Structure formats: structure tokens, C-alpha cells
Amino acid sequence: MNQTLNILILGKDPTLFASTPGTTQDTRKRHIAYAEVLRRKYPNSEVRIITYTPASQPIQTEQVSEGLRIYGTGSIHRATYLFGILKRLPKVLAKGWRPDVVTVQTPWEEGSFGYIIARLLKAKYLPQLHCDPFTEAWKKEHWLNPWRRIVAFWLLKHADRIRTDSNELREKVIKQLGISAEKVQTAALAVVNFHPVSGLKSDFKKKIAPVLETKKIVLFVGLFYAPKNLKLWVEAAEQISQQVSEVAFVMAGNGPLFNDIQLLVQQKKLTEQFYFLGSVGYEKLPEIYAAADVFLLSSNYESFGRVILEAYMAGVPVVSTAGVGPKDQIEHGTTGFLVPVGDSRAISDGVVNLLQDDDLRRRFGKMGQEKMMTQFSKEAMSEKVVATWENA
């Protein structure tokens, strides 16, 4: 049996470094788990990662574990990240180390470099797809996205293997790009690195704000940016509040649209019902999820949506727009509700249904938790990621 399967990853996540301020190293923990599974199967293997880091971040190279080494680019700006890859590559390849697989987190900027590196080193090329570039919403999100889509489709067609976040996204790649099913494998970035907390839901509600102890809570956790369509989230909240009297809306996260969403809430005169928690450390999330009665996701598209699994871990049912990721995770009418993208009335109806039916809410929550434990455990997801490397 081959004892070595070396992996080179190109990405843009500086939180891989233990020194990154304001993080709890969730991404780091995921990759440690991947490396552990890899070395269990191929004892002499190593994962090496070149990731964007700002010039202000001091650590440039770190041996995280026996099987995981990361290299920061120390880039002046994200726009110069690709030059950082070229700068760090000689050190990565020192002493004759060579990758068997080159995998990239996005199939456009670093995807192009990854393709060239893989071909020069005679390694397999495995782009990852963590968004849905087939949607018009994604195309319009950034002025570069039309160009990125052209590059991505070319690279996907010329890849040795493709890794997608969901089965729905896998089917799109196969059907719309004419790629053989054998080349496309699903393995999401979905390792959930916390455990549910025990205690009374009312106590966790009080930790957010004493007034919430007796209220039903609808929760959002994530980045405040365009793909999440949080304006729709607020519109649905307004409709929910008209039907459920003792309800509050808790939003955890930050991002470029944070102030805009706060202003929209003020304009709709919903300020007293909304609680904005800002950026929350990963270690605090279990208690926040434990306070929720329903988790609501209103995204224009989701390639996976790990927050759904985090809600499941806490036994919280989910109402989500039907992106490719949520379709994989939510069993409509069993663990939550899937509703059409952009439909605030369907969203509010699903949430109200759960808020007004305690038995239904508990049953959905229990089924979601069981699904999380059996299908999306840390070990199961890590095995799937390593399998994409093996099959490349």
C-alpha cells in the first residue's frame, strides 16, 4: 500500500494560524481533523497549505501538527495574494517535498495558479466549489463574478476531480457543464467543532437579555452580506411579529451590511424586538443556539450552509430558502421547512407554524439533531474530504 499522499491546498483563510486575533480557530480544527484522517490511512503524508495572511500578521510558517504545515503569504493586500503564492512556493517544495494532489478553495484566482502548479508538478488538480456560480444572484454579487464564472467553468472542465459542498450542486456541475459523474464528489466544509450544551432554554435566553426569558426566539447566525438576503429576513420577521406576540429576533454576526440591516429594523419600528449580538466567538455559539426556538436562513443561495448543522446540533428546527445546500440537509416537513428563494410570506408561514406548535417544534428539533449526529459528524465529514483526495 502507498504510504504517502501529500496534499497542497491554496486558500485565503488567515484564521488557520493560531496567532490570528479574534478567532477561535474553527478552520484550523477542521484541517487538523483532515490531516489526522489522512495520516491514519497514509502514515507518511502531509498537508501543506498556502493561505493569504496580511503583512501585519507576524507568523509566516507554522507546523500545526505532524501532518499539517501552513504558510502565510504576508500580502500587502488580498489583491496581491497570488504573488504571495509564488513567493512561498519554493519553501513549500523545499527538500524535495512534492504534492500528489493540488486542491484550491475557489476555482478562479488561486484556482488558475493551482492548475498551473499541478500540471508542472504532475500532480492531480482538485478544485473545490463552495458557492453556486450557476445562479444569477451569484453572478451579480460582484463585478468580477462574470469573469470568475468563465474561468471557473473552464477549470472545472479540465480538473482531475471536483469537490462540491452538496449533492444538488454536484448535479448542477454534472448536467450544466457536461462533466462525468465519476469526476464530481460531494464533501462539504461542514465539521461542527462544538457540542450542545445542557440546561433550560429559558436560562440561555436570559443570558442574551433578561426580557427574553419567556419569549420565542428566531435566530440568525452568519455574515451580514448580500448573499444572505437579510432584508428579506427582516421582512419575514415583520410578518412573523404580526402573528406571534411574544417573539424576538436575535442576529449574531457582523459584516458590510450590518448597519444597513439595523437601519431597516429601525425604519420598520421593530427595534424593541431585535437583538444584534455582533461578532460572536465560536465558543459562545452553543449557548446562543440553545436559546433559539427556530433558526431562519433567507439566503439567495447557499452551497452548503453549515449554520443549519449547528442549529441541528442544538436541537433547533430550521426554516430556510431552498438553496442547493439546504436541500441536502433539510428534510422538508421532518427537520424543518424549505421555502422558495425570495418568498417572505412562505418564510414567515413556516416560522409561525413552528412557533405556534410546541410538539412540532420539538419533534423537528430532535430529528434534526439525530440527522446531524449520524450523517454529518466530524469523523464522517473528515473522511469524505480525505476520500476526494484519494480519488483524485
335 in a structural domain: yes
CA angle (71, 282, 23) in 5-degree steps: 35
pLDDT the model gives residue 306: 84
> Do the domain assignments include residue 283?
yes
Q: What is the DSSP letter of 270?
A: -
pLDDT at 19: 61
| Sign of the dihedral through C-alpha 7, 119, 53, 190 | negative
Rounded to 10 deg, the angle between the 26-41 and 378-391 helix axes is: 60
Has residue 307 been placed in a domain?
yes
Domain total in the chain? 2
For residues 132 and 12, membership in a common domain is answered with: yes
Lowest-confidence range among 57-66, 126-135, 156-165, 314-323?
57-66
Instruction: Clarify whether residues 16 and 107 are in a common domain.
Output: yes
Whether 369 is covered by a domain: the verdict is yes
The answer to whether 54 and 15 are in contact (CB under 8 A) is no
Same domain? 155 vs 212 = no
Say whether both 131 and 244 belong to one domain: no
Burial tier of 77 (Cβ tally within 10 Å: 0-12, 13-18, 19+) = exposed
Q: Are both 224 and 313 inside the same structural domain?
A: yes
pLDDT confidence bin for 234, thresholds 50/70/90 = very high
Give residue 208's pLDDT band: very low, low, confident or very high (50, 70, 90). very high
Q: pLDDT tens, 166-187? A: 888 999 999 999 999 999 998 8
Distances (CA, A) of 69 to 14, 244, 389: 13, 52, 17
pLDDT per residue over 355-389, tens digit each?
999 999 999 999 998 888 887 777 788 888 999 99
Residues 219 and 257 in one domain: yes
Within-domain flag for 45: yes
In the structure grid, which three cell numbers stand for residue 345, read together?
Answer: 410570506
Q: Is residue 274 a part of any domain in this protein? A: yes
Same domain, 315 and 206: yes
Does any domain span residue 1? no
What is the residue-averaged pLDDT of the chain?
Answer: 91
Q: Give the separation between CA 355 and CA 206, rounded to whole angstroms.
A: 19
Does 351 lie in the same domain as 205?
A: yes
Q: With 50 as the cut, is the pLDDT of residue 22 above it? A: no
Q: Are residues 234 and 359 in the same domain?
A: yes
Query: Domain limits at 91?
Result: 7-192+378-391
Asked whether residue 22 falls in the same domain as residue 153, the answer is: yes
Q: Are residues 123 and 214 in the same domain?
A: no
**DSSP per-residue letters across 209-222:** -GGGGGSEEEEEES
Do 104 and 10 meet the contact criterion of CB atoms below 8 Å apart?
Answer: yes
Asked if residue 2 is part of any domain, the answer here is: no
Residue 259's pLDDT band (cuts 50, 70, 90): very high
Residues 3-14 pLDDT 10s: 899 999 999 888
- pLDDT at position 141 is 83
- What would the mean pLDDT of 64-77 be, rounded to a whole number? 91
pLDDT band at residue 20, thresholds of 50, 70 and 90? low
pLDDT value of position 23 = 44
User: How high is the pLDDT of residue 294?
Assistant: 97
The better pLDDT of the pair 141, 71 is held by: 71
Per-residue exposure over 36-65, b if at least 16 CB sit within 10 Å of its own CB, e if not? bbbbebbeebbbbbbbbbeeebeeeebebe
Weakest mean pLDDT among 79-83, 229-233, 272-276, 279-283: 279-283
pLDDT at 189: 64
- How far apart (Å, rounded) are the C-alpha atoms in residues 86 and 306? 32
Classified as helix, coil or strand, 298 is coil
CATH number for 266: 3.40.50.2000
- Is residue 42 within 8 Å of residue 5, measured between CB atoms? yes
Q: Verify that 239 and 165 share a domain, yes or no.
A: no
